Each structure stands twice: as C-alpha cells, then as structure tokens.
Amino acid sequence: MRTVGIIVEYNPLHNGHVYHIQQSRKVTGAEAVVAVMSGHFLQRGEPALLDKWSRADMALHQGVDLLIELPVAYSVQPAEWFAYGAVSLLEATGIVDTLCFGSEIGNLAALSAAAERLSDESDEFQASLRHHLKHGMNYPAAFAAAASCSTASPLSHVENADDALEQGTALEKSDPSWIAEPNNSLGLHYLIALHRIRSSIIPYTIARQKAGYHDQDVNDSFIASATAIRKLIIEDHSPASYMPASSWNILQQAQDMGRAPVSWKQLEHHLFYQLQRSSRQQLAELLEVTEGLEYRMEQALPQLAELTTEAFIAHIKSKRYTRTKLQRMLTHILLGHRKVHFGPEALAQGPAYIRVLGFNEKGQTLLKRMRKTASCPIVHKVTRDNAQLGGICGLTADVQATAIYANAFSNWTGKLAYRDYYEPPIRR
C-alpha cells in the first residue's frame, strides 16, 4: 500500500490543511496517509489551541489514516530538530514511501539543490553563519543569509525556470530570500533530515495556497492562515467558514467542556511561578536560554506592570532574538527542559518510540504492518512498563507536557492532567 507521510500541527485543522491532505494523496499516488503531529506544545513556542486527541480526531475526519505524535522534545525546537524528529519518525514506521510538504516556492528541484549543498554544513556555511550572528542577526535570518551564500540561485539548478515560475514561486533568479520563508525553511530542513538519516523516502512539495503562514487577517477567500483563525477564536468570533464542519464541531465541543481555546494566557501563572522561583544559574541550564538571556529575564521581572507573556516578551525582545525563539524559551522554562537532557546529543539519537494518537480502518492495517517493519516500539497508551522509553526527554516528558497543559482547562481533574495514562488512540 503506497503511503505518504505528512508533518503537521493542525492548530486547528482548516481548509488549507484539507487541501494539503488531498494534494498529498494526488501528487504521490498514495493510498494511505500517515501524519506526524505535534502534541500539546508547538514549534513556534505556543500551547496548542486544543488538545492533541481532539486535533487527531479532526485529521481522521479529513482523510488522514494514522496519526503519530511528535514527542515534545522535538515539537518545541528550531526547524533543524523539529524536522529531524518528524522525518525520523516517518522513517521508523518502515511503511512510509513518500513525504509531501507545503512550501511557498512550490518547487522541489530548487529546494533539493539547496538542501544538497547544505546537508554537510560546509566550513564556508559555518563561517558565514557565525559572521552574521556576530553582527546581530537572529538565527533564522543568519541561517538564510549563510545558506544563500552557499547555494547561490536555486533556479540555476532547475531544468526549466519558466516551469518553476508558473508554479507560483515568484522567485527572481538572483534573489535568495526565498530560503527565509517559513515553509521553505521547514521544507529545506525536511530534505536535509532525509539526507542525514539516509532515508529512501521520496519527497514531494506543493505550493501553499492563498494565506501566508503569518497572516493575521482573514478575507473573503476559502482559506485563511491558522494564525488568523486562532485570532478569530480567541477573540470569540466564528472561523466556521475557514474550517471543515467536523473540525468546527470538535472545537466547539472542546470549548463547551472548558478545554479550549488554550493560549499562553491560561498558563501565565504557572510560567511566572517558574521564572520567580528560579535562580539565574537555574534559568541558564534550560533550553534556548542563551547569550545572557537569564540576565535579561531577571532584570525584566521587576519592571513589569502586569504578569503577562506579552509584557514579558516586550521587555526581553531585541533584534537578535525573534519572538518565536523567546516563546520557545518560555515553553522550555514552563516545562523544565534542561539542556543536559534535551540538547543536541540526546536529540541526535532520534525518537525512541512511535506514539499512536488515532487511526481508522486503513490505519489499523498500517499498524499491523508496522508490527513487522517499525524500528522502535509502538505505544498506544502510556503504562508503567513503557513510560521510561526515551529517557527523560521521551515519554516522561510527553506525560509532563500533558499534565502542565491541562492547567489551562477550566474543569481541571487529575484524570485530565494525566490523560496519557487513560486515553486510548482515537478510532474512526
């Protein structure tokens, strides 16, 4: 059974995601779809709008056959490790033939040429990266600048540049800024990860439709960005026209139960408790706390007029640190992720388990195949026997992330906080 893998967050699942699922089947000729999905905390350093089981249910309604959780050790990471964890999971299933991702450029030849040159991170690339960082660039901008020096023009490697432009790339031959686009950057890192683990998975890309990744406003179109949809929901407006009916219904059910929408606002009390009880040295030991940020945080706390993440980020933000980096840092502080446990050495080992969040009948067939093909244990529910898989940055961290996330619910119970021990995968 030809199977395509996709890497998703579904925060929440909207019409653009449905297009991606449908096109992934179409362009790869796949009969089945396996999605690796982030759990309760996401790549940009934010809590998910609603819980991972609800989001898995949304996906099953729209044609995904099997949902696998991306461990929190990888889900709240820069593009390099986010991609490495997700691609490694798809490879670990032993059943995924292809990977299909969205990108602004929409042209695999351009991405592949850049990825091939960057896979080994040459001395030239590293020197350029250090140079740009030293001169005040934040990491994403420095990476894009260094990559552009290493790759030159991506279209110089495309057989038919006119075809690339017709696919909607809007790319000038001399302009390397395409690398900095969020989905181009993620796609580039997916390809680098495939090369790094010597995977036989065949990549495909499709051009993103309509709304940009960071667009905060909606219009009369059928597709709006997840950012704009979250804004509507948090401001108590209906995003129903931008979401499938089943996704909207699942979201409303979560709202009725006091479990959505979740944002930093509901977790601020717990975040500031951690900030106020931690010494400079303790903060410096946590992920993404780099280059003296522990001092900036210590100095900012007494100056706050209100204990909100918005106010705090405004005090510590600079040209060097993107909002996304600071949000990820705050997430690691909230979750207690220390560098010694969640650093590159641990992440380079790859995920140690395949956590199943949901499946349908076809997905059940895939799981039966995976019993023979998977290179690591398949987990349906956390138990005393499997809870130690992956060590401190493995299943234990996922369970803790769920428990902390549940503090955002208006109807908190211990069973909700430790739902990983009780909740079986969603079945459709």
| Structure confidence by residue, pLDDT tens digits, 101-137 | 999 999 999 999 999 988 876 678 778 877 877 676 7
Per the annotation, does 12 bind a ligand? yes
17 is in an annotated binding site: yes
Check whether 155 has a pLDDT greater than 50: no
Average pLDDT, the chain: 90
Q: Binding site annotation covers 424?
A: no
In tens, the pLDDT along 403-420 reads 999 999 999 999 999 999
Q: Which long-range contacts (CB under 8 A, 24 or more apart) does 147-151 make?
A: 147/114, 147/118, 147/176, 147/179, 147/188, 148/176, 148/177, 148/179, 149/124, 149/125, 150/117, 150/118, 150/122, 150/124, 150/125, 151/113, 151/114, 151/117, 151/118, 151/176, 151/179
**Residue 222: its pLDDT value, please?**
66
Across the range 183-194, mean pLDDT stands at: 97
What average pLDDT does this structure show over 59-63? 99
Q: Annotated binding residue at 55?
A: no
What angle do the packed helices 182-196 and 108-118 form, to 10 degrees?
60
* Residues 6 or more apart in contact with residue 258 via CB below 8 angstroms: 409, 410, 411
Q: What is the pLDDT of residue 144?
A: 76
Print burial letters for 315-347: b (CB count within 10 Å at least 16), e (below 16). Answer: ebeeebbbebbbbbbbbbbbbbbbbebbeeebb
d(CA 254, CA 62): 18
Q: For residue range 211-245, what is the model confidence (pLDDT) as tens digits?
A: 544 454 444 456 788 899 999 999 998 999 999 99
On whether 19 is known to bind a ligand per the annotation, the reply is: yes
Residue 381 phi/psi, 5-degree rounding, is -150, 145
Name the pLDDT band for 150 (thresholds 50, 70, 90): low
20 assigned to a ligand binding site: yes
18 is in an annotated binding site: yes
- Annotation-wise, does 16 bind a ligand? yes
Asked whether residue 34 carries a pLDDT value surpassing 50, the answer given is: yes
What distance lies between CA 346 and its chain's CA centroid? 18
Q: Is 14 annotated as a binding residue?
A: yes
Whole-model pTM: value is 0.91
Q: Which domains does the chain have, with CATH numbers?
A: 3-104+208-261+349-427 (3.40.50), 108-180 (no CATH), 264-343 (no CATH)
* Residue 407 marked as a ligand binder: no
pLDDT tens digit sequence for 286-301:
999 999 999 999 999 9
More confident: 9 or 147: 9
Q: Where are the beta strands (DSSP E) in 262-391?
A: 354-359, 378-379
**Is position 102 annotated in a ligand binding site?**
yes
pLDDT (tens digit per residue) in 341-378: 999 999 999 999 999 999 999 999 999 999 999 999 99
The closest alpha carbon to 59, from 38, 79, 41, belongs to: 38
pLDDT at 15: 96
- The tokens for 335 are 């979750």
Rounded mean pLDDT, 309-323: 94
Tell me whether residue 29 is annotated as binding: no
Query: Cβ distance 7 to 190 under 8 Å?
Result: yes
- pLDDT more than 70, % of the chain: 89
| pLDDT of amino acid 166 | 39
